[in-house]
Structure 1
Amino acid sequence: MTQLLVIEDDANVRTLILKLLQAEGFEVISANDGQAGIQLAQALEPDLILCDIMMPECDGYEVLQRLRQHAGTANIPFIFLSAKSERIDLRQGMELGADDYLTKPFKRAELLGAVFARLAKQASVTQPYVDEMKRAAQTLSQLAYRDPLTNLPNRILFHHQFQEAVAQAGRANRSIPGRSQVLIAILCINLNRFKAINTNLGYSNGDLLLKLVAERLEQNFGQSNTVARLGGDEFSLLVTDISQGEVVELAQRVLKLLGDPYDLDGSYVQIQISVGIALYPQDGNNPDRLLNHATMAMRSVKAKGSGGYQFYTPEMDALETERQLIESKLNLALARLEFQLYYQPQINLITGRIIGAEALLRWKDPERGLIAPDKFISIAEETGLIIPIGEWVLRTACAQIKIWQINNRLPIRISVNLSARQFKQDNLVELIAQILQETDISPDLLVLELTETSVMENVETTILVLKELKQKGIHISIDDFGTGYSSLNYLKRFPIDTLKIDQSFVREITTDANDAAIAKAIIAMAQSLQLKVIAEGVETEDQSNFLRQNGCHAMQGYLFSPPVPAEEFEQLLLADKRL
């Protein structure tokens, strides 16, 4: 067995190198300083030595010099490992007789490639072993530069391909004076709501979908372009020598191609695609910067929720900076008690009296003041912070219900929004039951609001969880109704109490015939299922009258009151304010 000696004073680096080499079947011995390395080398005469340069007392240069003066170690292949990368350092090592020089940090493939190359030059190595090393090097290259699931280029190879494309574009621009500058486009391609595929159909079907997406991209665009998988549900397309108009046509083709149905083991699914586009040279001159800009543009598309494509614009930098700032502050906001709940009254449209309220989260940053929910809720969802924040909202709202019950001796029903991520918690039912017990309130006073899209992600699981919550006496409301894709067949299976008409339909309900028809249909359907209806965003008397005349049960909106702090809401109760 081939024996290698590693001389390295950094324990972490030494351990990593040992593991990499041992995994390839080498016998590896090590020393943690130069003097010990010299002694081991002279005693065992290994087949190859890897030695750090910067070591105390006896550095790598001295180790090499002394070994070259000893007959048994004079011809052993010697590779320097160092954080130094100046030419003078390289020349000094080579003048002493080093065979190779690796600059830290180095990649696994670089290390093993250097080892195999030095061993292959030894006269004692047989040709079959050389062939095996070549095959191993090819395998390492495959692992280093290819995505194992789709076999597409990974991020590392994508970077190399970009550098080559830039060099070719530069030569083309110089070779034809006066020609318009060659553009290079990077398209960042993301599969919207990919997690729902894994959740509903299983991870094997999720992997199958990624393979099918990769095949479509490679077959249709891979002949003259670079298609890569950057990780997760994110792909990238590198296109050279293209105009901005042609990029638009390309993005539209990608959307159409990937939007066609997929057969996942007998289940046919369609997915929405978000595509962000960045162009060289105007949007950046290196792959990291361009990919980052294309990703920003892709996120801008995803935020709209409908798929499509978007070019990067400089304004996105400010938005990204703002996003990162909010994310960093959000980590501390809960610990510093910077959140508070506002309450928007819900009004019975017949009596005009307050029948409940929706608890709405607000963030009062000490430096920036009140931050609107649409600025931070999506970030909390992405980072997972919505879980502890959501628990705080539940506890605070339930505690407030108890306070109002004591102060006013009136049972006030409060609605609390549950995000899709919260709803997927394994311990959700137990957590809510515990909070209700700790705050000593009736479950009948708590309403959990879920969006239409979140309850449709995994219907069968949703039904089971909702039934458990209903059995405990908790009310269930479907928020933003009319904006999702639920069917009546599923809706009648959900154990729910209330539908909330989304404010996008209420806004033009008296002037837009389509919005009016949708609102009437929702009210009629709810009545047939014996559900109550609450309309959101009611701002005018005309809207209120329309809803009342068509059988809507209740409303909330600025016509009666904006969301207000708990103290102000209590004053509304005490004054018995009516619509």
Structure 2
Amino acid sequence: MKKILIIEDEELIRINIKELLEVEDFEVWEAENGEVGIKLAQHHQPDLILCDVMMPILDGYRVLEQLRRHPLTATIPFIFMTALTDRSNTRKGMELGADDYISKPCTATELLKAITVRLEKHSQVKQHYESQVQKVQEELQKLIYIDPITNLPNRLALREKFEQIKESISDEKRQIIGVIAVNIDRFRRINEAWGYEASNSLLKAVGERMTSQLGSRAKIAHLNEEKFVLILEALADEEQVFQISKNILKNLSLPFFIYDKEIGVSFSLGIAFYPRDGDEIDQLLHRSQLAVYYSQQQGGNRYECYQETWQRKDDDQIALENDLRRALEQNEFQLYYQPKVDLKTGQIIGAEALIRWIDSKRGFVSPGVFIPLAEEIGLIEAIGEWVLRTACKQTKAWHRLGLKEMQIAVNLSGRQFNLPDIRQRVLEVLLSEGLPPSCLELELTESFLIEHEDSSIQKLNRLKALGLQIAIDDFGTGYSSLSYLQQFPFDVLKLDRCFIQDINQNQKNQVIVEAVIKMAHELNLQVVAEGVETQAELELLRQYQCDIIQGYLLSRPLPPQDFQNLVESNKYLII
């Protein structure tokens, strides 16, 4: 049964309309003025609203204006009932978002026809939207499990498949699972010499060749860059794995033809066995990679089986660990700031704080190298707190210089978020640095949130109660599901650069990005697009009504003074 709300100050008119609609099997609510109407609309969320224009307390225009601002009532079909005949009044209502006008007095037939037309049109729009969301959900599910370069399963799919295989094997028959890591030797040199497109073509060709060779005998996945993994299930002995490894090396030693050019590539293989070398897939992947590294140290183009006696960390890794500890103690880290631009105004409204480490001996050390190491050796909490404090202090300093509206976004690691007193730590930093909570945005990835969903939601709500904002980072690259956007109290959705890069040439990503932005806005979320590098990407994002962008099109991450100079120069994005 469709629900209709009547907002009309004349009781006789309300009664007549209600009786007419109830005869037509509508469920009807009445409001004698605008304030009551707004409350009823937000509480009941009717399928359509009939509203008088001229009313005491709140007139129909102000009622419509407030309803359109509220996420629960923003899309409800709205029909004005009025005796006003001036076209300017009609135009004003339409500009505010009214769907139709009915002149008073009107016949029952005119009223019912207007209601029927609006309900049918709204139903069609709603069905189209739901269809688009369903398509996006399906595409995102594919992205969760499939590597976009090779179209092979990714790490998450591999983990689930391993658990299925483990459940199916027989302990009585002493069956084993072989895990083979396959790495392309000197892949970075290939990248530098041939470029990313050729490198990606090579990765795809490697995956296709192994799939063609092994068929259903192995589950093949592409983890990242030069790393592939094969799982051989329910084997009787290890010799079968060794023989397959020999055959793989022989097959992969044949030349690859990329863009009509012949490329000779060597490979190193590392082998680990379940249950001998570990019970969990992550442990087996780690140990098979250790075997790969040992193979590469022997010159590559060979396979090695993991040995428990091997030294797990080489001297360089140990030295890097020591240097990282020293860098934290001696305050060798720096923060750079990448501008975030409001697409409506073209102005820089904030920045993302990004950590940098320039070591006296090593030079620039990539965060992709030292952040995982910091997590492994337990330094990430201290480094994360340093980043938070330094970013808040710098933002407060900019406020004193006149950049009052500047907001700072800081990434929060999983281990940092899981600290039992994380809320107290964030509050202490805000108070000690004097930064208003509204000027801080914490960026989190959902992978560690969903491990303990209920406790994560509670912790996020406690953090939000401080007055800061919560952003979901790298949306669409990990475990992303549209349902999490409803369950977790996010304020901002950050679209990963993999969706934005060359979006003007990728029809599938265009559909995904446009639908995700619309859906996020329906959920009252701001959308930030990362990695915007071209004007064509910008124009599409503006067309899709994205809120904020960041990327090299505007600026690379900058030291504090350079960032301040950029803001003060007023060289904002041209709108």
TM-score, normalization: structure 2? 0.51
Aligned to 1:384: 378
| Aligned with 1:530 (options 516, 524, 528) | 524
8 Å Cα contact 1:338-1:364 kept in structure 2: yes
Structure 2 CA distance for aligned equivalents of residues 574 and 538 of structure 1:
22
| Aligned with 1:550 (options 535, 544, 550) | 544
Change beyond 3 A, Cα 1:223–1:556: closer
Structure 2 CA distance for aligned equivalents of residues 336 and 248 of structure 1:
49
SS of the residue corresponding to residue 493 of structure 2 reads strand
| Aligned with 2:534 (options 530, 534, 540) | 540
SS of the residue corresponding to residue 337 of structure 1 reads coil
Counterpart amino acid of residue 389 in structure 2: R
SS of the residue corresponding to residue 419 of structure 2 reads coil
| Aligned positions of 1:126-525 closer than 5 A | 216=169, 218-219=171-172, 221-222=174-175, 240-242=238-240, 244-247=242-245, 275=285, 292-293=290-291, 321-525=315-519
5+ residue gaps, structure 1: 1-191, 198-208, 226-236, 263-269, 279-290, 299-309
Structure 2 CA distance for aligned equivalents of residues 465 and 224 of structure 1:
40
8 Å Cα contact 1:342-1:565 kept in structure 2: yes
Larger radius of gyration: 1
Aligned to 2:565: 571
| Deviations 1:270-319, CA, capped at 9 Å, x for gaps | 977853677xxxxxxxxxxxx95368799xxxxxxxxxxx96699x9999
SS of the residue corresponding to residue 472 of structure 1 reads coil
Change beyond 3 A, Cα 1:557–1:423: same
| Deviations 1:105-136, CA, capped at 9 Å, x for gaps | xxxxxxxxxxxxxxxxxxxxxxxxxxxxxxxx
Structure 2 CA distance for aligned equivalents of residues 481 and 297 of structure 1:
36
| Aligned positions of 1:93-104 closer than 5 A | none
Identify the structure with bigger relative contact order (alpha carbons < 8 Å, sequence gap 6+): 2
Structure 2 CA distance for aligned equivalents of residues 412 and 338 of structure 1:
26
8 Å Cα contact 2:333-2:355 kept in structure 1: yes
8 Å Cα contact 1:354-1:578 kept in structure 2: yes
8 Å Cα contact 1:216-1:257 kept in structure 2: no
Counterpart amino acid of residue 513 in structure 2: A
Counterpart amino acid of residue 360 in structure 1: L
* Shift of residue 349, structure 1, vs aligned partner: 1.3
8 Å Cα contact 1:276-1:295 kept in structure 2: no
SS of the residue corresponding to residue 329 of structure 2 reads coil
8 Å Cα contact 1:538-1:544 kept in structure 2: yes
Change beyond 3 A, Cα 1:312–1:338: farther
Change beyond 3 A, Cα 1:519–1:224: closer
* Shift of residue 503, structure 1, vs aligned partner: 0.5
Counterpart amino acid of residue 491 in structure 1: L
| Deviations 1:535-554, CA, capped at 9 Å, x for gaps | 00000000001101001001
* Shift of residue 328, structure 1, vs aligned partner: 2.1
* Shift of residue 360, structure 1, vs aligned partner: 0.2
Structure 2 CA distance for aligned equivalents of residues 459 and 529 of structure 1:
19
Counterpart amino acid of residue 461 in structure 1: S
8 Å Cα contact 1:276-1:311 kept in structure 2: no
Counterpart amino acid of residue 341 in structure 2: I
Structure 2 CA distance for aligned equivalents of residues 503 and 346 of structure 1:
14
SS of the residue corresponding to residue 558 of structure 1 reads coil
Change beyond 3 A, Cα 1:342–1:548: same
Counterpart amino acid of residue 509 in structure 1: I
Counterpart amino acid of residue 573 in structure 1: V
| Aligned positions of 1:42-53 closer than 5 A | none
Aligned alpha-carbon RMSD (Å): 4.1
| Deviations 1:92-111, CA, capped at 9 Å, x for gaps | xxxxxxxxxxxxxxxxxxxx
Counterpart amino acid of residue 380 in structure 2: I
Structure 1 CA distance for aligned equivalents of residues 318 and 383 of structure 2:
18
SS of the residue corresponding to residue 458 of structure 1 reads helix
Counterpart amino acid of residue 475 in structure 1: Q
Change beyond 3 A, Cα 1:464–1:224: closer
8 Å Cα contact 2:176-2:236 kept in structure 1: no
Counterpart amino acid of residue 493 in structure 1: Q
Aligned length: 327
TM-score, normalization: structure 1? 0.50
Structure 2 CA distance for aligned equivalents of residues 577 and 482 of structure 1:
32
8 Å Cα contact 2:500-2:532 kept in structure 1: yes
Structure 1 CA distance for aligned equivalents of residues 294 and 423 of structure 2:
37
SS of the residue corresponding to residue 410 of structure 1 reads coil
Structure 1 CA distance for aligned equivalents of residues 345 and 177 of structure 2:
69
Change beyond 3 A, Cα 1:420–1:277: closer
- 507-516 vs 548-557, greater mean Cα deviation: 507-516
* Shift of residue 524, structure 1, vs aligned partner: 1.4
Structure 2 CA distance for aligned equivalents of residues 500 and 381 of structure 1:
23
SS of the residue corresponding to residue 350 of structure 1 reads coil
Counterpart amino acid of residue 275 in structure 1: L
SS of the residue corresponding to residue 441 of structure 1 reads coil
Change beyond 3 A, Cα 1:331–1:353: same
Aligned to 2:85: none
5+ residue gaps, structure 2: 1-154, 179-234, 249-268, 297-301
Structure 2 CA distance for aligned equivalents of residues 431 and 351 of structure 1:
34
SS of the residue corresponding to residue 492 of structure 1 reads helix
Change beyond 3 A, Cα 1:322–1:272: closer
Aligned to 2:555: 561
